[in-house]
């Protein structure tokens, strides 16, 4: 009986170790998609999406957003954001990779532990605008890679809440 339990324990350790090794050494992006229908025209939604001063009103946990470059929205424009979660303040840097006014915005996002590309797409509909966010995230530190599945689930919920917050803000104007 003890031999059988010991063998099961060894097998469990091997499986858990294999899972950890795959998570740590297998480089792969984690994708998230969130969408929301907003009863406002695309230009109203786009203005809320791109105005640094308004981000704190709809991005959960955003404490501060600071432009790092002059000239407003343009390819190469950078900003630094500070987000607070569970009492800890995190720094996140972003850079505009591409945009088409009132249609799309592509950002490169980086922080200690991860990098991501976020694509916002706005499509006019009869009821307003369909806003879709697709984000590809790569974890760059061992602990992030190990817990990537859990973190990705949490990120999905955050992105969905952020878009709902944006919807409420846009529709209240």
Q: Would you write out the chain's pLDDT as a tens digit for each of its 173 residues? A: 677 765 666 556 555 555 544 444 555 678 999 999 999 999 999 999 999 889 999 999 999 999 999 998 999 999 999 999 889 899 999 999 999 999 999 999 999 888 999 999 999 999 999 999 999 988 876 555 556 666 778 889 999 999 999 999 999 98
Residue 170 burial (10 A CB sphere; 0-12, 13-18, 19+): buried
The answer to whether the beta carbons of residues 134 and 32 sit under 8 Å apart is yes
40 strand-pairing partners? none
* Spatial separation of the C-alpha atoms in residues 169 and 173, rounded to whole Å: 7
Report residue 30 as tokens.
């984690």
DSSP state of 126: T
Q: Which residues contact 115 (CB under 8 A, 6 or more apart)?
A: 108, 109, 137, 138, 140
The answer to whether the beta carbons of residues 81 and 91 sit under 8 Å apart is yes
CATH number belonging to domain 29-171: 3.30.530.20
81 strand-pairing partners? 65, 92
Q: What is the pLDDT of residue 23?
A: 46
Give Rg (Cα) of the chain: 20
* Spatial separation of the C-alpha atoms in residues 157 and 170, rounded to whole Å: 20
Domain map of the chain by residue range?
29-171
């Amino acid at each position: 009986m003890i031999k059988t339990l010991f063998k099961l324990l060894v097998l469990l350790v091997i499986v858990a170790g294999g899972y950890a090794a795959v998570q740590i050494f297998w480089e792969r992006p984690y994708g998230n998609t969130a969408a929301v229908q907003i009863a406002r025209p695309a230009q109203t939604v786009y203005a809320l999406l791109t105005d640094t001063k308004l981000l704190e009103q709809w991005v959960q946990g955003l404490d501060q957003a600071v432009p790092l470059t002059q000239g407003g929205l343009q390819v190469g424009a950078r900003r630094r954001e500070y987000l607070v979660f569970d009492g800890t303040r995190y720094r996140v840097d972003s850079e505009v990779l591409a945009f088409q006014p009132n249609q799309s915005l592509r950002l490169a996002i980086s922080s200690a532990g991860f990098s991501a590309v976020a694509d916002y797409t706005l499509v006019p509909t009869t009821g307003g605008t369909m806003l879709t966010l697709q984000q590809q995230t790569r974890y760059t530190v061992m602990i992030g890679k190990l817990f990537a599945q859990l973190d990705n689930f949490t990120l999905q919920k955050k992105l969905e809440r952020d878009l709902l917050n944006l919807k409420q803000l846009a529709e209240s104007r």
